[in-house]
Structure 1
């Protein structure tokens, strides 16, 4: 058995699942936990009747609050990174400048991904892991493994070049240190309005006995947020509502594809949604049914329903009046719904909700990491957080790529 650890500034671990599924197919990746917040991923290759094959297992943990500094606290990931930082400081270095870049890189890391190969890393999965490191702009720490053909501990870059080993040797010549601007831009520009929003939502969650942490950052405020356009929100709701009927088994996929094409919604259907409609297997249907929560949020944003309702209960789309629902059958033109969607809720209302669900999502993730009962339904909270992040154009991400950093 061999292992290595991939460290990255990125926090969106959906990228890891997507990368593995691209290589091995959805059935080839065994997922422990919900797909959107997986706990463990495993792939097995070369398995036959008489061979166990080779397996790769992925797990991860993250800073409670992503950032770019190693501020001392009891966060286990930061504690580990501080230990790593001190370890590197004590190493000799043939290339002192590269060592300083490595130290700077360590301070920016948010996620550690453990990768275990059984019985050993192969050339095939080495290529897979290096491709993943490229996507995540990561670095590796490894000891006696075949993946880096070494018998000593050291750090490698995303191409597999040696940054620094315990003997001070390197083969790389430089290392990029990239930081998401959101982590330092907001430090000096957090408005009183955003801080007050945070305090209100912390108080609301505490009153519900939902754990919070005071140092989870405030989100952006009205002066910087860029909301999606009303038409864009209405179009997204219309596509989701149509596809949701396939997820629940009400209408077959070919009929919905025809509907989306006939009423000019196909060009607004994402690559992920088209892949689902092309092969709506049972496990994918179950996952897609959760999108009713996203539809609920978008209809709320469009003022089609008065409130998001309780955080600890599933939404009920049957409560939405039929005359304002985006999908009314495959023979009904959705243009009436789209044309009637003329107003979006204020930035303040949407940001209030986004900040609230951001903190609630942290509580759910925190409970999962600690293997404790979740204080709220994690699926409901995650999907609503997802839709709200899309509404505020979080990190300028398209629908399929929205991340729910906590």
Structure 2
């Protein structure tokens, strides 16, 4: 391989030059050109040259806007054998703000690789090999490209700058947070005061009714295809049927990129199909927001899948379905979003402590409800497939 990349979450990059010097100072000459470092070996023979490029959200904002969502999509599409590890990796990617790209004119050998790993250890963050294997800060494999877990005991890290920038303080947010905390106390569910407020209604980017309705119908149809894949049905026949359904309801444009790729895959992955089928719970929040579900019950039991299907199948066209919907208020949607946000924290905290989720919650249900609700409020303008799940 000829390149190695370090991704990190850092408050500033001012000390990176010192860290590069500490690692490469012996045996190499270092020349700096703006944010690039040219590393040349001092040996008489077997001369070696590396270029280290440093980019941050401050110096190269376009890189992060264009590449981090793609990185999220890529690792979200990998069939992780450990769903918890997938959540941790996606959480880490969501808070990255620094890239140290190392390029070599020759193939990187063991000796140079050890130096790259030393820099990774010094800087922190995660390392990316050309084949998309991820390493932790100690150089231990987090996950392989096929989704197989490595031996790393990985935990994501976010600098205070990335954590604090997400919090918006408002009286409305304060009242909503306290309302949720009172609900959690009543149910005996643990919580933390440090979990930030969600933005007030005026700062949210709520999806409009038609977009929600189209997303709901498209998602339901993809879920049905995923269920067929998971159950070993005839893939070709199933694909043709559900593509025709998408066209019948005129919602093909509301598929996500991941869903479209899954639907067109000649050999769709079974684990991915199972993951998509769990999105019944995210779909449930959409039809709740559209008025087809009376209330979101406590997330301990799966939704009524038969009813979930009938909500759409009762209508011959999208227009008929849309006309029967009755949009809930933004306040009600945001209240439920705040609640699921803090319930998710309780699930994650219990899992970290190797305890079962409190009050009989099913974390998979909580996770998917959060996906749907955060998408509804337009949280950080994230796409459906890349909703951040950090707590």
TM-score, structure 2 normalization: 0.61
Are the equivalent residues in 1 in contact too, given 2:250–2:318 (CA < 8 A)? no
SS class of match (1:205): helix
Matched, 1:31 2:17: no
Aligned partners of 2:297, 2:270: CA distance in 1, in Å? 29
Q: State the Cα RMSD in Å.
A: 4.0
Aligned partners of 2:371, 2:118: CA distance in 1, in Å? 44
- Residue among 89, 93, 98 paired with 1:138: 98
Deviation at 1:217, TM superposition (A): 1.4
Change in 2 beyond 3 A, CA 1:15/1:204: farther
Structure 2 residues not aligned, in runs of 5+: 11-56, 58-67, 101-110, 129-158
Aligned partners of 1:185, 1:283: CA distance in 2, in Å? 32
Specify which structure has the higher proportion of helix.
2
Are the equivalent residues in 2 in contact too, given 1:238–1:327 (CA < 8 A)? no
1:202 match: 181
- Residue among 258, 268, 293 paired with 2:244: 258
Deviation at 1:310, TM superposition (A): 2.0
1:350 match: 333
Show CA shifts across 1:89-134 (max 9, x none): xxxxxxxxxxxxxxxxxxxxxx5xxxxxxxxxxxxxxxxxxxx89x
2:257 match: 271
Structure 1 residues not aligned, in runs of 5+: 39-58, 63-110, 112-131, 161-176
Change in 2 beyond 3 A, CA 1:202/1:244: same
2:382 match: 397
Aligned partners of 1:33, 1:326: CA distance in 2, in Å? 30
Aligned partners of 1:398, 1:261: CA distance in 2, in Å? 22
SS class of match (2:282): helix
Matched, 1:290 2:278: yes
Are the equivalent residues in 2 in contact too, given 1:247–1:285 (CA < 8 A)? yes
Matched, 1:360 2:343: yes
Change in 2 beyond 3 A, CA 1:186/1:286: closer
SS class of match (1:248): helix
Change in 2 beyond 3 A, CA 1:148/1:179: same
Aligned partners of 1:195, 1:237: CA distance in 2, in Å? 31
Aligned partners of 1:401, 1:34: CA distance in 2, in Å? 16
2:18 match: none
2:212 match: 233
Deviation at 1:262, TM superposition (A): 4.2
Change in 2 beyond 3 A, CA 1:216/1:155: closer
SS class of match (1:252): helix
TM-score, structure 1 normalization: 0.59
Are the equivalent residues in 2 in contact too, given 1:290–1:383 (CA < 8 A)? yes
SS class of match (2:241): helix
Deviation at 1:207, TM superposition (A): 2.3
Show CA shifts across 1:212-252 (max 9, x none): 01121121122322210000110011101111211222881
Are the equivalent residues in 2 in contact too, given 1:139–1:155 (CA < 8 A)? no
Change in 2 beyond 3 A, CA 1:196/1:283: same
Show CA shifts across 1:328-355 (max 9, x none): 59xx3333102333x3211110111000
1:190 match: 170
**Correspondence list, 1:50-199, <5 A:** 136-138=96-98, 146=113, 148-149=115-116, 154-155=122-123, 183-184=164-165, 186=167, 189-191=169-171, 193-199=172-178
Are the equivalent residues in 2 in contact too, given 1:210–1:363 (CA < 8 A)? yes
